[in-house]
Amino acid sequence: MDLYGKDFIVSQEWSLEELRALLDLAAKMKRDRYSDRWASILAHQTFMMFFYNPSVRTRMSFEAAATELGGHAQFMTPSAGRFKTEKQAGETIEDAAQVMARYVCGIGIRILEDKVPFYGAGNEMLREYAHWANVPIINMADDKYHPCQGMADVMGWAEWYGEGPGRPSYENLKGKNFLLTWGSGALARSWCSVQEALLVASRFGMNVTVARPEGYDLDPEVYAWTRANCEANGANFGVVDDPDSGYEGAHVVYSRNWVTADAYQGGVLQKPAEIEKAMAYQGWTANAERMARTDNAIYTHPMPIDRGSEVTDEVASGPRSAVYDIAENRLHVQKAVMALTMGNL
């Protein structure tokens, strides 16, 4: 399978066969992390990391991935250049993308909720870079999707229901019940990680339930994709508006705070207003009592965790928590993405 040069902007645009090839390589790389087989895949090459928003896990995991593949990850922020915006003259994406592509083997871009004027603007920007650049564009989280996180998620779930670290069973996820539940808190988080979780859970045959207060539905297109994925796998998709019922019989529980569909007004994220709305909905915390209603579910979260609001410490640090395993998997998944789309395998 030839994935060389392929962009990775949302998992839904890759076939299941392509996603499995990525995940299978990631598992091999995890089992044999420092093998000489991987050490020169990106030899003498540079991967550009373009961060509009900061991140601990994303920067560290991509830098480590590039190093372990024999390459180099270069960090850049918009302040390092002068880029054209609606309010500022400067370099266009057409020019920036084509010049960057002459220096590097791939470009990763991270742009989230508070750096865009409307929902979807970040994703549009990645697609414009993809149009002009002749190297792969890797989504390091935009305002709609986070495919690297989604791959780390599903790999982690499959390891827990498989034979452990580096030995996932995706077949064992089929028919399992996945609960994505809105979490209490005042962080006004974007939709990217939770929407990617819906897509990957449904692609791999899980029954999917979204639990959220009124007004907190996610992107209708993502709901439609999730429903279609579930139907193709003979699985179920549903949405509930209470914080308790979705836990019944769940096998994977994912709790996270996110904004409403009205978060952008006048070209600006209305963060104070979103926080005020969220504070009106208390009692949506994943806790031991709710987890006891599940079928011995694992707890999952992309981090950083708002402990005490999205989830209690007892659950987040408990024996069925997969959060650190999934955080580690970002490294292995991203090594596989880079190797397949940019490397000399």
Confidence of residue 164 (pLDDT cuts 50, 70, 90): very high
Residue 316's nearest CA partner among 226, 254, 271 is 254
What was the pLDDT predicted at 187?
A: 87
What was the pLDDT predicted at 294?
A: 98
Residue range(s) in the chain whose domain bears CATH number 3.40.50.1370: 11-144+329-342, 149-326
Query: Does the pTM of the predicted model rise above 0.75?
Result: yes
What was the pLDDT predicted at 304?
A: 95
Length of the chain: 345
Answer yes or no: is pLDDT of 85 > 70: no
Answer yes or no: is pLDDT of 212 > 90: yes
DSSP 60-91: HHHHHHHHHTT-EEEEE-GGGS-B--SSS--B
- Cα–Cα dist 104/135, whole Å: 8
What was the pLDDT predicted at 345?
A: 74
Interacting residues of 24 by C-beta distance below 8 A, sequence separation 6+: none
335, 29 contact by CB (below 8 A): yes
Helix (H, G, I), strand (E, B) or coil at 191: coil
What's the CATH class of domain 11-144+329-342?
alpha beta
Per-chain mean pLDDT for the chain: 96
Which residue bears the tokens 């090594």? 335
Confidence of residue 344 (pLDDT cuts 50, 70, 90): confident
Model confidence over 224-260: pLDDT tens digits?
Answer: 999 999 999 999 999 999 999 999 999 999 999 999 9
What was the pLDDT predicted at 87?
A: 65
What's the CATH class of domain 149-326?
alpha beta
Answer yes or no: is pLDDT of 176 > 80: yes
What was the pLDDT predicted at 152?
A: 98
What letter does residue 34 receive in the DSSP assignment?
A: T
What was the pLDDT predicted at 81?
A: 74
Confidence of residue 83 (pLDDT cuts 50, 70, 90): confident
246, 240 contact by CB (below 8 A): yes
